[in-house]
């Protein structure tokens, strides 16, 4: 079970496979984990939804930043290969 009270507490390793991608402290503090939790909960409530695929398409069009910060999906906490499990 996922809890978002004071901090994010992930389930035990292997319990929900995609959560294992967020075991390091750096990714726990990034917004991509929260998007992933919303994706998971949406699929539990409405298994036939296409919301997560629409969000994935939006994220994949994430613009190249025109500032000194150059933020990317990786900066948001997206783990390498996130597309594999996101579309499931």
> pLDDT tens, 53-62?
999 998 888 7
Q: How many other C-beta atoms are found inside a 10 Å radius of the C-beta of residue 38?
A: 13
The pTM (predicted TM-score) of the whole model is 0.79
- Residues 23-41: what's their mean pLDDT? 88
pLDDT greater than 60 at residue 76: yes
Predicted local confidence at residue 87, as pLDDT: 86
pLDDT greater than 70 at residue 24: yes
Dihedral-angle region of residue 86 (phi above 0 means left; psi in -120 to 50 means alpha; beta otherwise): alpha
């Amino acid at each position: 079970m996922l809890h978002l009270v004071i901090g994010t507490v992930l389930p035990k390793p292997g319990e929900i496979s995609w959560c294992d991608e967020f075991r390091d402290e750096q990714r726990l503090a990034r917004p991509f984990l929260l998007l992933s939790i919303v994706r998971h909960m949406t699929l539990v409530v409405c298994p036939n939804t296409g919301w997560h695929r629409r969000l994935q398409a939006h994220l994949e069009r994430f613009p190249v930043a025109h500032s000194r910060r150059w933020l990317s999906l990786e900066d948001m906490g997206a783990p390498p290969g996130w597309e594999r499990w996101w579309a499931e």
